[in-house]
Structure 1
Amino acid sequence: MARVTSLYSRLDKDATAKNAAAVLEDYQHRKMRVERWGNLSLQSPQITGMPRSESYGNKAEERITDTADDKVYLKTCEETLARITEPTYHGILKYTYFVPLKSNADIMERVHLSHSAFYEARKEALVAFAGWWLPIQTSELMVYR
């Protein structure tokens, strides 16, 4: 009789959690960048008649496209978090990456977990996030052996 191995059993949880953490660690940086550059608009060039060196690229346009990319990234992260229905996992991810608390001890207290249970639950929460993640700008987060 042939043994059937499910796809989940071949999942490398450590590598998957690491990939999800890498995606989420960029959330706050991109959020601040969108808040700072959110109201940019294209403007007509100014002709002053003064000599200047050639510039390559359009910095304003690059900022606008970067901001648009960041907005898509933020929305995707927030929608992925919203899909996680397990309250402990949702709370761990929310208070670690989206609304960061000062320390892991504060997060443990907020989600009512002991020290040892917290780190295992955080890994599982990251795996759950990776499972719901829709690859927009990054590759698939799930890693299989």
Structure 2
Amino acid sequence: MLHGLDIDTKATAENARQFLAHDLDKYLALAGEQRDGLKSPTITGMPKAKPAGNSTEDSYIRVITATAIVDCVKRAIANCSQRSREILTLCYLDSLADWKIAQRMNYSFSRYKDLKRQALCEFAGRYLYQATSAGIDDGDLNVYK
């Protein structure tokens, strides 16, 4: 672990959960995407710089940024371990209840909750990399101790 990067897993998992369960919908709407589109990682080019300008440009920038964020989510989920990817897909893309996912994956509910926290933390780390690579300023879902 790098010095100063000790992650608070509970708080990070909650941030990632909040992002995937609620905030992502705003970006999907702006990008003209659906959650189903996140399952197959069709990745487009992402903007590297934000132009400055008038309100029309600002609207375009919001759409371009939202599209980049959606692409970063696709990439982050696609790069997670198989188990984390399965949990994230079933929970946040297929909208299955936690108990159904635990049952489907043959885990006790308490074991599943631990694995879900791990999946959310893994997503947060992979999303940070993708967002940073895309030039997105506020892409850190991690909470540091």
Using structure 2 for the length normalisation, give the TM-score. 0.66
CA 1:106–1:32: 2 relative to 1, 3 Å: farther
- The 5 Å alignment of 1:12-91 reads 12-25=8-21, 26-35=23-32, 58=55, 60-85=56-81, 87-91=82-86
Structure 2 residues without counterparts, runs of 5 or longer: 34-53
Question: Contact 1:93–1:125 at 8 Å: present in 2 too?
Answer: yes
Q: TM-score, normalised by structure 1?
A: 0.66
AA aligned to 2:84 is: Y
1:104 aligns with 2:95: no
RMSD: 2.6
5 Å-filtered alignment, 1:113-132, equals 113-132=107-126
Which residue of the partner structure matches residue 93 of structure 1? Answer: 88
Q: For 2:139 and 2:27, how far apart are their aligned partners in 1?
A: 18
| Equivalent position amino acid for 1:82 in 2 | A
Alpha-carbon deviations, 1:92-132, whole Å to 9, x = none?
Answer: 111222x2324222322343322111111111111111222
Secondary structure of 1:112's partner? Answer: coil
Distance change in 2, residues 1:77/1:11 (3 Å): same
The answer as to whether partners of 1:11 and 1:144 remain within 8 angstroms in 2 is: yes
% same residue: 23
Runs of at least 5 residues in structure 1 that lack an aligned partner in the other structure = 1-5, 37-56
Change (3 A) 1:63 1:100: farther
Distance in 2, matches of 1:110 and 1:66, equals 38
